[in-house]
Amino acid sequence: MNNKSEISKRLYVSDISCAGCVETIEAALKSVPGVDEVQVNFADRTVNVSGDVPADTLIQAISKSGYTASIMEDNTESERENKDLAHYKKLLKKTVISGIISLVIVAVTMLGLLPDVASFRGQISWGIVSLLTLFVLTYAGGRFFTGALKSFKNHNANMDTLIAIGTGVAWVYSTFVVLFPDSVSEIARHVYFDTATLIITFINLGSALEMRARGKTSEAIKRLIGLQPKTARVLREGSEVDIPIEQVQMDDIVRVRPGEKIPVDGELTEGSSHVDESMLTGEPVPVTKKVGDEVVGGSVNKSGSFLFKATRIGKDTALSQIIDMVRKAQNTKPEIGRLADKVSAIFVPIVLIIAVLTMLAWFNFGPPPQLTYMLVTTMAVLIIACPCALGLATPISVMVGVGKAAEYGVLIRKGDALQKAGQLTIVVLDKTGTITEGKPVVTAIEPSEGWSENELLKIASSVETNSEHPLAEAVVEASKEKNIELISIESFEAVSGHGVRALYQQKTVLLGNRKLMNDNGVNLGSLIESSEKLSKLGQTVIFVSVNGEAVGLLGISDPIKTDSKEAIQRLQKSGIKVVMLTGDNRATAETVASLVGVDDFIAEVLPQDKAHEITKLQELGEKVAMVGDGINDAPALAGSDVGFAIGTGTDVAIESADITLMRGSLHGVADAITISKATLRNIKENLVGAFGYNSLAIPIAAGILFPFTGLLLNPIIAGAAMALSSVTVVTNANRLRWFKP
């Protein structure tokens, strides 16, 4: 693959085994000219690279650092899973074989079945045990020695280094005792073949269990990939043909029958149905679809048969974008995990220093036999230290947390959003389309004296047909219902945050709020009283004037979403203050605010001033989220600590947002915050566990309790503890899979 591309490339590195590997690979890739950003995910052994660099160059850079990489595409996900499964089975086989040999060695050692090592027969017998141990070290533990050698060549050290040195020293010393027993004092004439083999067995067993548990953390991605059908039924030359989904082209007409999955995104052209979009949006109620409506690839057709025109295919479909966003979010490192990364980077060198100090201390100050005590404690220190638990603590929880959020239609797009969402103190809600349905309708038409309703609506609709504002659409729709014929406008100008100005039959027409009328000297007279009544009912009022004379007003109502009040109460119960932000007048805003129960509201805010209101709250020390549609609210979303954009249908990649809500409900905000808090709590548990384990285990392994208890930690137990520590971290992260916000 030599083609260059600005989009990020995804690589799979099968032999990432510890946090040190992550640092090495990151350093290798960042040294490649043209690489802008590198994200290595220890949890699933994938690497995301952004920059204009050919994939072959990236793979070569990783190869030079001692690792094996391959490019990943969507269709290689199952291939990777098959490789992981094969690796798991291979590791399990090695564990079983090494375990059987280890039990034999333990039996002959503990039961004293072999002659003394100082005798000729003993040397022969123990020599065979040495060869069996060497077989275990090379067959079952070979990856640790090759990994250690790679690290040495790259001038660093990792977990493989610790295991290789610990077990290698045990075998070398024990073999030396067997070959040259007279060179060692009788009191120190011990062999540690059983220790070396059991350590390898326990660590491999832990790795196998960890792999099995780790595979479960990516089930959210697997489910998303599984939503896409393999084939599509398209119309070609008048007949229906089943083709692979990769061969679907833009504008193809696709047939979907009841019970089938919709293969790609499109627009319904014939028929109608109810479609289950719950796997994408978390919304359990099937959505009615009719001609002209969008359908989303991966959703399920529940009832009627229909035809649709493909409008997005391949990587442009909403499902593909969701999968890509979830993967990228899973690969990011929240701030809380960066301390662990810094510690992991220096962890192994520190352990090696502690091991050397332990060795020197026991050799110089320990009781006889000093050599035996020195070997036991040094091996225990090297083996018990676990950088893996530290390295896994954050990414494994992030993977599960991001996947869990996706199950509820919450797409976390940017790295720190997962952490920041759990620290919010204020959530600011835009009114239109966020608290309300965003589907306004004209509910009141009040013309001034001398004007009829139809005349007023004709002027307003003829002007508003040039605007894309949701309120304008409501006005135009009202004229269509009354079959009012519109006439062309000679000029049109939008007045941001206030309304519009137009030239209509050589007359100046203004449509907008009270401020627009006041600024242009329009006397509203009795319309003011009418507008206040409508505002108290929660309606938005649009005044209409012609050549400076008020000719009437329109009342527009936007229904409040049925679950907005309940979702707002959920946020408040979790200790978050909820504020409504709107460009509407104060009376309308006050009515809506009281109906949904927000803590406060800010009215009559121009679109360009919304970001300033967010900044004012932040200056008070608040952690602020903004929830909006991602278009008119883009600056406010970008300026907030966490920006939530409500995406609908195929519109999921809203650039200004940190988090996209696939369904329109505000429950998505509450879900995101709850999942974020649970994920943060899980990360902290993992970090405390990993730091605590290493902080306690290493001093105990070094023999700190020996002066008080006379006990030393057996290196075999150290190996089992090390293996268990990583498994514990992964298992704890997997608890999030059953979490319900």
Name the residue among 694, 50, 42, 29 with its Cα closest to residue 398: 42
Name the residue among 539, 542, 523, 518 with its Cα closest to residue 463: 542
Catalytic residue, candidates 160, 252, 430, 658: 430
CB 533 within 8 A of CB 408: no
H helix and E strand count, the chain: 25, 26
CB 210 within 8 A of CB 727: yes
Residue 66: left if φ>0, alpha if ψ -120 to 50, beta else—which one?
left
Angle, CA of 509, 511 and 516, to the nearest 5° = 100
- How far apart CA 272 and CA 290 sit, in angstroms, is 5
- How far apart CA 306 and CA 696 sit, in angstroms, is 65
The answer to whether 430 is a known catalytic residue is yes
Residue 521: left if φ>0, alpha if ψ -120 to 50, beta else—which one?
left
Environment class of residue 83 by beta-carbon count within 10 Å: exposed (0-12), middle (13-18) or buried (19+)? middle
Q: How many CB atoms lie within 10 A of CB 36?
A: 12
- How far apart CA 185 and CA 283 sit, in angstroms, is 75
The secondary structure of 302-331 as a DSSP string is -S--EEEEEEE-GGGSHHHHHHHHHHHHHT
The alpha carbon torsion through 647, 650, 654, 657 (nearest 10 deg) reads 40
Write the DSSP symbol of residue 6: S
Active site residues: 430
